[in-house]
Structure 1
Amino acid sequence: MLRMLNPGKGFRKAGTTLVVPDVGRGDPPAAVARIEVDKGARLVRVLDPSGKWLAVYPASIGSDENPAPSGMAEVKRVVRNPTYHYDPDFAFKGVRTKRPFTIAAGPNNPVGSVWIDLSIESYGIHGTPDPGKIGTTFSHGCIRLTNWDAEDLGSIVQPGTKVEFKNEIAGAVDKLAP
């Protein structure tokens, strides 16, 4: 698509000006009634009160070592530019320290640019500094989205929005809202 929008442009030189599509959300979506976290399909679906899909995001959802929760939760709050707080009680693979530490908000923060805090302690929906790994099981139990998808979701959910964790949605059909 970028080549079609930029005929004759090279893509190897830093600083090259390119034409890109404006894929931002137009009008704000209808009220968000529920978020479905589909662990089997590795997707997060946002639904309106009638059950139509307002948005669908690819996601990393837990891992074998740290699976995502099951059942129901709800959004407690949305935090933009969060500080990451490491708790050594979780003993994440690859972290050698036994002491708590924090990482300031910024591009290398493990929870990205948005933290959507859930009613299940220590679980949230959040961004990532590594969008290329979305769709893999490298999360520590949380629901990881690209930063741009986490920003989008954070802008349309409210505290109290229900979050349902499912292993898969059998027989799902395209229910995108018009």
Structure 2
Amino acid sequence: MKTFRIHLLIAVLGSLAGSPAFAQTAPATESDKLLRAQVLLDRAHFSPGEIDGAYGSNMHQALAGYQKTHGLNPTGKLDEATWNALNADQTPTLLTYTLVDADVAGPFRPVPDDMMEKAKLPALGYSTPAEALGEKFHVSPALLAKLNPGKDLGRAGEQILVPNVVGTPALAQAARVVVSKDARILQLQDAAGTILAQYPVSSGSEHDPLPIGHWKIDGVHRNPTYHYNPKLFWDAKPGDKNTTIAAGPNNPVGVVWIDLSKPHYGIHGTPVPASVGKSESHGCIRLTNWSASEVAGLVQPGTEVVLEE
């Protein structure tokens, strides 16, 4: 990952965050350009995953999907034609956001890794205000901190800079969900096969392969509890028992469970957004919480799901 030159980023973006002219101004550094491209891809519903101002595998796939849908050469690279197409959306890269009481109210508490310890908690909420704000604005907590040096993210009334991912047009309902194991992406398509949206995913592993085939959505469940059965997990710890883990964004399946007609399999969120597209799963399709929440609003019981190589 390239070093993020924060002193220059703050000087340039901080002064221009509220100005429409910023959308037409050439970014001062490559990091600035990548950050803007990630924000614009997110706004166009081709998610690069967690916005971090760096070029990685998730951004490569987001660019390739955007390019293919917009009649551009699908290289996965931020070439001039793609940059110009993205900048048809002249929205500023950053916006100034004032923290409200709900942002800092918590309760915030550390979340243990052990399933049996998780089961003891009354709720699986956020561990810090920065984690909550990161999910709200689709940004890595590390980048959020760099954008806001010296700011108190736990104080209502504090003004901070965040990626401008709000106010995007609503999407139509999807006719089909297509998950590609090799590309590590989930696409929402209309009845004609046109891509409506694309998201990075983690989907299966050697121990728990993605169940290739055609399935359907059986139900959509928001803020689910998680029923942990160690017999279904090859890496369960000795002594683990069946238990139920409370709902919350740090629940093992995040804020959404979309049940598939394949028993024990679903599309769901995750408490670790940085891992999406870059790690394996226990066979299910894992998205960031914000992507899972968006997908949940665009599908319904009976929607076709295609899981392919």
Task: Give yes or no for TM over 0.5.
Answer: yes
More strand by share: 1
Say if 1:164 and 1:25 are closer, same or farther in 2 by CA, change over 3 A. farther
- Deviation (angstroms), 1:32: 1.0
Indicate the residue corresponding to 2:205 in structure 1: 63
Q: Please tell me whether the aligned partners of residues 62 and 137 of structure 1 are also in contact (alpha carbons under 8 angstroms).
A: no
* Aligned counterparts, 1:65-104, within 5 A: 65-104=207-246
Aligned letter for 1:105?
A
Indicate the residue corresponding to 2:190 in structure 1: 48
Say if 1:25 and 1:93 are closer, same or farther in 2 by CA, change over 3 A. farther
Q: Please tell me whether the aligned partners of residues 229 and 243 of structure 2 are also in contact (alpha carbons under 8 angstroms).
A: yes
Measure the CA separation in 1 of the matches of 2:231 and 2:216.
24
Deviation track 1:90-141 (CA, whole Å, cap 9, x = no partner) reads 1341533342111100132100000000000000000000011101232110
1:143 to 2:290 alignment: no
Say if 1:10 and 1:83 are closer, same or farther in 2 by CA, change over 3 A. closer
1:11 to 2:149 alignment: yes
Deviation track 1:15-69 (CA, whole Å, cap 9, x = no partner) reads 2522334424644322311000100000000001111101100000011111110
Say if 1:24 and 1:156 are closer, same or farther in 2 by CA, change over 3 A. farther
Measure the CA separation in 1 of the matches of 2:281 and 2:167.
27
Say if 1:12 and 1:165 are closer, same or farther in 2 by CA, change over 3 A. farther
Unaligned 5+ runs, structure 2: 1-5, 17-146
Say if 1:108 and 1:92 are closer, same or farther in 2 by CA, change over 3 A. farther
Aligned letter for 1:110?
P
Larger Rg: 2
Say if 1:96 and 1:26 are closer, same or farther in 2 by CA, change over 3 A. same
Say if 1:25 and 1:118 are closer, same or farther in 2 by CA, change over 3 A. farther
Structure scoring higher RCO (CA < 8 A, sep ≥ 6) equals 1
Q: Please tell me whether the aligned partners of residues 47 and 53 of structure 1 are also in contact (alpha carbons under 8 angstroms).
A: yes
Q: Please tell me whether the aligned partners of residues 207 and 234 of structure 2 are also in contact (alpha carbons under 8 angstroms).
A: no
TM-score by length of 1: 0.84
Measure the CA separation in 2 of the matches of 1:160 and 1:127.
20
Aligned letter for 2:222?
R
Q: Please tell me whether the aligned partners of residues 184 and 201 of structure 2 are also in contact (alpha carbons under 8 angstroms).
A: yes
Measure the CA separation in 2 of the matches of 1:25 and 1:58.
21
Say if 1:71 and 1:56 are closer, same or farther in 2 by CA, change over 3 A. same
Measure the CA separation in 2 of the matches of 1:12 and 1:40.
42
Measure the CA separation in 2 of the matches of 1:50 and 1:105.
37
Measure the CA separation in 2 of the matches of 1:151 and 1:74.
18
Aligned letter for 1:11?
P
Aligned letter for 1:6?
G
Indicate the residue corresponding to 1:132 in structure 2: 274
Measure the CA separation in 1 of the matches of 2:239 and 2:273.
25
Q: Please tell me whether the aligned partners of residues 187 and 195 of structure 2 are also in contact (alpha carbons under 8 angstroms).
A: yes
Measure the CA separation in 2 of the matches of 1:65 and 1:101.
22
Measure the CA separation in 2 of the matches of 1:81 and 1:92.
26
Q: Percent identity?
A: 46
Deviation track 1:71-96 (CA, whole Å, cap 9, x = no partner) reads 01111111000000111221341533
Q: Please tell me whether the aligned partners of residues 84 and 109 of structure 1 are also in contact (alpha carbons under 8 angstroms).
A: yes
